[in-house]
Amino acid sequence: MMPLISYEASSMILGSKAQYPSFLRTIPSDKYQVEVMVQLLQSFGWVWISLIGSYGYYGQLGVQALEELATPRGICIAYKDIVPFSAQVGDPRMQSMMHHLAQVKTTVVVVFSNRHLAGVFFQTVVLTNLTSKVWIASEDWAISTHITQVPGIQGIGMVLGVAIQQRSVRGLKAFEEAYIKAEKGAPRPCPEGSRCNTNQLCRDCHTFMVHSMPRLGAFSGSAAYNVYKAVYAVAHSLHQLLGCSSGTCSRGPVYPWQLLQQIYKVNFLLQKDTVTFDDYGDSLSDYNIIAWDWIGPKWTFKVIGSASLSPVQLHINKSKIQWHGKKNEVPTSVCTRDCIEGHHRVVMGPHHCCFECVPCEAGTFLNKSDLHLCQPCGKEEWAPEASPACFPRTVVFLSWHEPISLLLLAANTLLLLLLVGTAGLFAWHLHTPVVRSAGGRLCFLMLGSLGSGSCSFYSFFGEPTVPACLLRQPLFSLSFAIFLSCLTIRSFQLVIIFKFSTKVPTSYHTWAQNHGAGLFVIVSSMVHLLICLIWLVVWTPLPTREYQRSRDLVMLECTQANSVGFLLAFTHNTLLSVSTFTCSYLGKELPENYNEAKCVTFSLLLYFVSWITFFTMSSVYQGRYLAVVNVLAGLTTLSGGFGGYFLPKCYVILCRPDLNNTQHFQASIQDYTRRLESARLGEAEPEVPEG
């Protein structure tokens, strides 16, 4: 347990209290030096380096610690080697090391070595002309003149290093000079048994003169100060143990373990430097960051920064650095240059610093916290390919203010006005032959159903709501089903009256007396209403946000747009359309005023064409304007029904009142009767034999 205080041994292994319980030092442990070196590399962005160490605890443990600390921080060791203890300048082992250093093409080389082997290493560097590199020096050789005196060393490139903060022992130089001056006469032989080499009081054997006295270099000056600290630490400890604070010191025995405990407790100022030891026996002195500077053949160094310890914080004044390149630019030392924005790294080979840059896919972005993985955007965001960030999606729906919306709204409003106007016109001429032949009061149900279907189109505009989604398609489908039911039964009635009333009078009278036409319309409408209710219950259309169809848009729409319920309702309307067409076709020979075949065919043709177009578009396009196609299909259907059935009658009422009278209609019926009689007689006339 004898206290041992070293002024120069910085090896990390000496911090193990299990192996070296009584070891202390006035120089920082290499674990702090390694941390400073890694921060130095990071500050300049040097992530692709070579690492050289010297044989022995100092170099090998330093290399190991630096690799373990640097790798998790993104620094790659391209090449690592140890200078052998027996290394000679230019021997095969050193030549091989130089070859590998040149081959890996790293700009930065960290040399964690003692002075002796660092000298051998750099002599070989000069010999093989390995230049234009940045050399990071460990504390043991950073400012050692043993290295700077290597011939040609100034041509190897830039040297940055870690050095113990420079402090001098006050009065040491003056003491030495005064000591020499105090020596009188020629030096005499030392008395026998004297210990002149270690005892400064033995003047007889001092051979130095003032002019030949050696000067301490910066490195030796730091070592001298660390010795000075060690002596003062022991002195302060003994002062406390012997109770000298009272003015007199006791002369009791002091045991080594007592002194060791007291040294751990010291805490005093020495030339504004706090002297204390941590639990590992280390004294936390600060580091200087130095850069070699050559003024012609003369070497010097300048302090470009500092590093405080516990925790390690690096401070560098980069403006003080004169780089060896022509443009005075910071050299780069990377395996692969950083990817451009939006490209992530795909590691190639064993080193994570060597990678290919691959663009991020659409819908993903590159998070700067992880340059190897593209992160997916949020649900409400999007990103193009190779994007550095996500962007908010644009929420779209068929708004009221778009030009196409205004056009459709104007057309729909015009249709509504025409329907209302026609209803008023028919009410005014309710008892005229034209209105009665069109269905009389049934026309108002037909016009009302068309108006109801037209009103459903307003729910397609604006942001979808629950009522709008529930009404838009079911209301249109039910309204058009009522119109088709009325149109079918009207065509059927005309065929019955003109063709079958005389042939099956009993059936006709039963149909008329039991209001068959009204019952058909009610039953057909109720069937369609039931289909719509099932549609709304089972396949309920609700507002939803659709994200899949477009990468940069959120489409607000109603769910179940083309559901099974919609298809069932459409199928029922299609069957009614076919029935209407069949009945109107059967009546193609009726009197001209009652013949609806051409108009009905035109209306149904528009119906089929418009909805075939809608289904075709919905199968290939799912964008925001699909609602426009839906409204167009419905508007075309309603306009076709109104134009094919009601417009011709409005024309007669307004423009040809001469045709809207009983005489004209009776004449038309009589003409139809004569044609039937002629056809019947023609069929019954016997064939006249020739000759």
- Sorted by sequence, the CB contacts under 8 Å of residue 295 that are 6+ apart come out as none
pLDDT at residue 273, as a whole number: 85
pLDDT at residue 195, as a whole number: 46
pLDDT at residue 213, as a whole number: 53
Mean pLDDT of 440-445: 89
Instruction: Express each pLDDT in 30-75 by its tens digit.
Output: 999 999 999 999 999 999 999 999 999 999 999 999 999 999 998 9
Instruction: Express each pLDDT in 171-213 by its tens digit.
Output: 887 777 777 676 544 455 555 554 444 444 444 444 444 445 5
Mean pLDDT of 612-633: 87
Mean pLDDT of 567-589: 82
Alpha carbon of 690 to those of 683, 687: distances in Å? 19, 9
pLDDT tops 50 at residue 381: yes
pLDDT at residue 687, as a whole number: 45
Instruction: Express each pLDDT in 118-143 by its tens digit.
Output: 999 999 999 999 988 999 999 999 98
The CA angle 11-16-18, to the nearest 5 degrees, is: 150
CA atoms within 13 A on the CB side of 273: 23
pLDDT at residue 218, as a whole number: 56
pLDDT at residue 422, as a whole number: 92
pLDDT at residue 214, as a whole number: 54
Instruction: Express each pLDDT in 397-435 by its tens digit.
Output: 888 988 999 999 999 999 999 999 999 999 998 888 888
State phi, psi for 562 to the nearest 5 degrees. -120, 55
pLDDT at residue 63, as a whole number: 95
**Would you call 589 helix, strand, or coil by DSSP?**
coil
pTM: 0.61
pLDDT tops 60 at residue 502: no
pLDDT at residue 178, as a whole number: 76
DSSP assignment string, 186-238: S--PPPTT--TTT-TT-GGG----GGGPPPP-HHHHHHHHHHHHHHHHHHHHH
Which has the closest alpha carbon to 15: 289, 284, 306, 313?
284
pLDDT tops 90 at residue 448: yes
Does residue 461 contact residue 398 with C-beta atoms inside 8 Å?
A: yes
pLDDT at residue 237, as a whole number: 92
Binned at pLDDT 50, 70 and 90, residue 339 comes out as: confident
Long-range contacts for 19-24 (Cβ within 8 Å, ≥24 apart)?
Answer: 20/281, 22/256, 22/260, 23/281, 24/233, 24/263, 24/264, 24/277, 24/281, 24/282, 24/283
Distance CA 670, CA 528 (A): 40
Mean pLDDT of 133-154: 90
Work out the percent of the chain whose per-residue pLDDT is above 70.
85
pLDDT at residue 22, as a whole number: 93
pLDDT tops 90 at residue 107: yes
Amino acid type, 391: F
- Sorted by sequence, the CB contacts under 8 Å of residue 142 that are 6+ apart come out as 159, 161, 162, 163, 290, 301
Strand partners, 313: 308
Amino acid type, 297: P
**Rg over CA atoms, the chain:** 53
Work out the number of other CB atoms within 10 angstroms of the CB of residue 421.
Answer: 12
Mean pLDDT of 511-517: 69
Angle between helices 626-645 and 403-428 (to 10 degrees): 20
Does residue 580 contact residue 600 with C-beta atoms inside 8 Å?
A: yes
DSSP assignment string, 241-271: HTTGGGSS-------HHHHHHHHHH--EEET
C-alpha dihedral sign at 458, 459, 463, 465: positive
State phi, psi for 620 to the nearest 5 degrees. -115, -10
Instruction: Express each pLDDT in 542-553 by its tens digit.
Output: 998 888 888 888
Does residue 107 contact residue 81 with C-beta atoms inside 8 Å?
A: no
Average pLDDT in the chain: 84
pLDDT tops 80 at residue 28: yes
Residue 220 burial class via C-beta count within 10 angstroms: exposed 0-12, middle 13-18, buried 19 and up: middle
State phi, psi for 21 to the nearest 5 degrees. -70, -25
pLDDT at residue 673, as a whole number: 63
